[in-house]
Amino acid sequence: MWISQLRYYWPSDRDDCFVGCIQTFFPYGYEYLGNSPRLVITPLTDKCYMTLMGALKLDLGGAPAGPAGTGKTESTKDLAKALAKQCVVFNCSPTMEIMMITNFFKGLASSGSWICFDEFNRINIEVLSVIAQQLLHLFGEKGKGSKECIFEDSHIGMKPTFNVYITMNPGYAGRTELPDNLKALFRPVAMMVPDYALIGEIRLYSFGFTKAKLLANKMVTTFKLCSEQLSSQDHYDYGMRAVASVINAAGLLKSNPLYETATEDQILLCALRDVNVPKFLKDDLPLFENIISDLFPGINKPTIDLGALLVKLKEKCHEHKLQPIDSFIDKIIQLYDTCSVRHGLMLVGPTGGGKT
């Protein structure tokens, strides 16, 4: 257990810092990456790190695979941060040409950086087979410890720290299976469902919640019951992204002066409502309310005074010749709440439902 965790060593015979994990010793990168957020370490992240570090030792790439929102890309980025290496994340698409990938590899090999090709199996099969040839050549040179090599008619420098990671989402339309000669160059690691309760608990503690363990369990149970009881719609999501947006919403509310008097249960209840209610269809709303009232018995949503905002909304409605009925105003407030926890959003509904 001791050696299976990432540790930093300064060996007496080497004038450099090394990161060790089982039998892999990787030189520390000293790349300043800023004070960016870090992942919560769960047993799944540990397993992923061990596989990816083992791949480094064997001069192979790493290939985390699994459904959306299980932390494949984030784990790769976080490992790069632990080793202080720059990691370039690139989202693959069927339009990618071999010339583009060749230029990527030249730059990465000569700078010693990492790349994470996201959704790698969306690239066309013809391109994938050429990539396999190129990687075989590069990994071979890296294994020999070459300082420079000829790659695709260019004379390039080689840094031994360079590596390639790919992430794959199984079973979507328009995804190809990887050819065998490419599979052989990557160590696969299956990323199934992470421990949402553990992640939620630590994230909530970081926002200053004292009852984080209890609240995280309630949040996970809410999502579990929703996925079992509510209708299945294309835009419903109960994965890591949904969990993250609830936690972020709770953190924002916790620091909001309007919620100073609210208890932690009330804050989480508000966050769950603010993030989920806007996207549920009307038939699912009573079911969601029942789930929430079972998990948070006797807790009422604190009433927040939106005074000036409501006055302005009604003024604007009259200007635009719209009727400021309650359901329309509610939707505008929900849109406002969603904007505060999401980067981009999509309004879904029938023609004439008032989306625009």
| pLDDT tens column, 5-60 | 888 888 778 788 888 888 888 888 787 777 877 888 888 888 888 888 888 888 88
Long-range contacts of 121-125 (CB under 8 A, 24+ apart): 121/168, 121/169, 121/175, 121/176, 121/177, 121/178, 122/92, 122/93, 122/94, 122/174, 122/175, 122/176, 123/92, 123/93, 123/94, 123/96, 123/176, 124/94, 124/96, 124/176, 125/176, 125/179
Per-residue pLDDT at 176:
61
Residues 88-146 pLDDT 10s: 888 888 888 888 888 888 888 888 888 888 888 888 888 888 888 888 888 888 888 77
At 342, phi and psi to the nearest 5? -125, 150
Residue 173 has pLDDT above 60, yes or no: no
Share of the chain above pLDDT 70, in %: 98
Query: Residue 195: which of 243, 227, 264, 232 has the closest Cα?
Result: 243
Note whether 281 and 231 are within 8 A (CB). Answer: yes
User: Residue 297 class from Cβ within 10 Å (0-12 exposed, 13-18 middle, 19+ buried)?
Assistant: exposed
> CATH: 2.40.320.10, 3.40.50.300, 3.30.429.10, 2.40.30.30. Which one for 35-190?
3.40.50.300
At 352, phi and psi to the nearest 5? 75, 15
Domain formed by 196-304, architecture: Orthogonal Bundle (1.10)
Per-residue pLDDT at 343:
78
Share of the chain above pLDDT 90, in %: 0
Residue ranges of domains in the chain: 35-190, 196-304, 312-356
Per-residue pLDDT at 349:
81
Per-residue pLDDT at 206:
87
- Model-level pTM? 0.73
User: Residue 160 class from Cβ within 10 Å (0-12 exposed, 13-18 middle, 19+ buried)?
Assistant: middle
